[in-house]
A and B are shown apart, each in its own frame.
Chain A
């Protein structure tokens, strides 16, 4: 166990966060906000810098670390970043409870978009900016960012990247990890820029465009309007955000191939194919189901936006889908679990895992009908090894286990099944709004403090795909001998 390296990396990340906090500070200065806000950001930055002075780097510090340290680094850093990121909200008094502020910030970093705020529009601009900016940071991953900008971190960084990047496998674009991280971030920022431009063309103000672009890029879903995207009631804006969410829900390696490689390869991508099939079917089914409420044209419009928002785990809303017929709500719940593609900014189980799980489930039927039959479960044109399939099945088991615990805990706060289940799904899959009492038009403020903390951790666990958070909280992980 290399405690030194854990401290070393965490300290550098906290300094990085201090740097990132200077952006909302700038926003506060531009909009000439009260000294309380400026002081809140300033004090947070100073606190971060003070804490980061604490563990001095030992000269003989061994820089090598292994999977256990990587898990602990990733898990701890997300918890610490969420905590320190919540300080401006708390110190400025705009979110008076520290637990609420922590929930809001975790929701931001994990690109969930669930809020405890009853009235978002009461928040000052700098706070709104920071709240949405956390989506941007958390979407691609703060440690990936660290790999991109900090030298020296890359030696064993691939383990950290593996622990942070969502999806069952970790693919690199180029052989150098730090270059890989840079390319990812440059593409990410450029694509976000494009979304901002398109939104500006639709008549949004620059500030609103930034907020919504951050939300779409990180697949987070914080809006600065109580009515979310429904506020603008513009088909153009809905189309821009709907399509950009779907694009950010795809594997970034595909974007790289699209930009710089052989475009035909994209068509061969099995995960993308299934992703689009699921999206298409869901839009049609929901559209037909809600035809009686809105008419076919409007029905498809709302269905498209809701499906795109939920499968990419963003959580923007144009209408309150919690009031839709049961069939549509159930499809939305299924989409929550499926989530986007591996290697994207979205949460959920990921399409690739679902495809493999379904295929391996179906293969059991064939096998039981004809014992001794040799079957190869193929995915992306290759046969999957038994180990890989088992690890995906085990992940699913863990996922269900955590989900069950979360539903049980939520049952103390809510009286109906739909709210409890969708609340757990939405937090754990990093979506944002749920159904029932947690629909797009309401919020999480009615949770008990304990459950707010649990849900904050659940959001982080969902974003990091469970394992790092569990490892951090297992006492034996911290022992010298494992």
Chain B
């Protein structure tokens, strides 16, 4: 499998790291130093030059590549190189497009020009924020199979009714829910039936959205959905986020530092209160009544500012804090703070592209159809389609020699999610979702010891 990436920025780097294990990655980057640094670090090859140069693309062997990914800073460059690559013969082209204008135009035009997938980091981040606002008390929410199944991450307080519960009893109380990951300090556990939930743990629970909502109510969260939200920073993510929240009755205020931006937002979203002020000032946050909001979303251009705003919001008693952090390096510092959900647009799209690439790579037999990275990339959630030649067919799950640190979370059969017990069978045509701390699975049979 041959993957060509144009642009060695943050996303390019993440993709190179994620994909270098299973594919031959070639990176095209204009600045030699960046390329050199990456080549030293990751097992890839590279070309110095522009992604829109025809001779360069030809020389790089675009004609024979399986996936072509254009993720430079510039939309136009990504689109042009994507179109060129497609004409040269690349089987799959993925382009990063950030401005709303380009994204909307090329959602229609892209297909005819040979661009197979547009990825918009800000839009993806906004989508994620919307799910977080729908499940406010979760530290994190992911949805699978078009919202058929969600996975939420909750923190367990000492006075929580779940503290001290063993997973066997958990399963009896919440029949269709499954605890699939327990984070205890730096340790990540994929629990089997005998695990115990302890205070201070962060647990990942998965299930159907409606069951999760019931779980929420019983755990003690009063409102299942956020009613008011303060957004700090009015950039592109905010723009997408507000478009998606238009239907909800949520009361929203945006604080934006730049006057021009603030005016633009106020013009596009007249139902939103827009304040032109520096949202990183405590005085301003107090004046705008930060403690009265159910949720605070920090989306300024500065990671540190976002983190500080969220810390202050959390101290002021705001229950749901969503923080945008661009630099993945900083996230590691935040492990112990735990009071916020972190959004990293580049990580999100790198995940999406990686998942996409793996799905392409495994287009035959039982393969990875979707991949999520969880718990700061320490856990992978993989979705496999089950083909006829699979070794897991014909045996009950409890009789399968499944590797440890691995859990079959659910099976999707005829559009319905099943949370299997040991007596269930995997059938042909199913989709199986597996969670593991191991890496590099590309086939369902890999789960067998």
Contacts and interface: CB of A to CB of B under 8 A. Distances in A.
Contact of A481 (B286, B287, B289): B289
B286 A1 contact: no
A391 to B, nearest CB: 14
A482 B287 CA distance: 10
A64 interface: yes
B292 A480 contact: yes
A379 interface: no
B273 A482 contact: yes
B251 interface: yes
Contacts of B253: 481
Interface string B277-317: 00000000011110011000000000000000000000000
A56 to B, nearest CB: 23
B287 A66 contact: yes
Interface range on chain A (Cβ under 8 Å from partner): under 10
A176 B228 CA distance: 39
Contacts of B251: 481
Contacts of A481: 228, 251, 253, 289, 292-293
B6 to A, nearest CB: 45
User: Interface majority SS on A: helix, strand, loop or mixed?
Assistant: loop
A1 B286 CA distance: 10
Interface in A204-256: none
Contacts of B293: 481
A444 to B, nearest CB: 41
Contacts of A1: 289, 292
B118 to A, nearest CB: 36
Contacts of A482: 273, 288-289
Given A481-B228, A481-B251, A64 B292 contact: no
Nearest to A480: B292
A156 to B, nearest CB: 11
B386 to A, nearest CB: 50
B286 A480 contact: no
Contacts of A66: 287
Contacts of B292: 1, 480-481
A66 B284 CA distance: 10
B92 to A, nearest CB: 47
Contacts of B287: 66
Interface string B253-271: 1000000000000000000
A143 to B, nearest CB: 20
A32 B196 CA distance: 87
A480 B286 CA distance: 13
A66 B253 CA distance: 17
A480 B292 CA distance: 7
B289 A64 contact: no
Nearest to A65: B287
Nearest to B227: A481
Contacts of A480: 289, 292
A66 B288 CA distance: 9
A481 B292 CA distance: 7
A482 B292 CA distance: 10
B7 to A, nearest CB: 42
B133 to A, nearest CB: 16
Residue with the highest number of chain A CB atoms closer than 10 Å, among B228, B253, B287, B288:
B287
Nearest to B251: A481
A64 B289 CA distance: 12
Interface in A250-266: none
A281 B292 CA distance: 56
A397 B336 CA distance: 55
Nearest to A479: B251
Nearest to B289: A481
Interface in A466-482: 480-482
Contact of A64 (B228, B273, B286, B288): B286
Interface in A34-84: 64, 66
Contacts of B286: 64
A1 B288 CA distance: 9
A66 B287 CA distance: 6
10 contacts: A1-B289, A1-B292, A64-B286, A480-B292, A481-B228, A481-B251, A481-B253, A481-B289, A482-B273, A482-B288
Given A66-B287, A480-B292, 13 more contacts: A1-B289, A1-B292, A64-B286, A480-B289, A481-B228, A481-B251, A481-B253, A481-B289, A481-B292, A481-B293, A482-B273, A482-B288, A482-B289
| 5 nearest A-B pairs in the assembled complex, by CB-CB distance | A66-B287, A480-B292, A481-B292, A481-B251, A481-B228
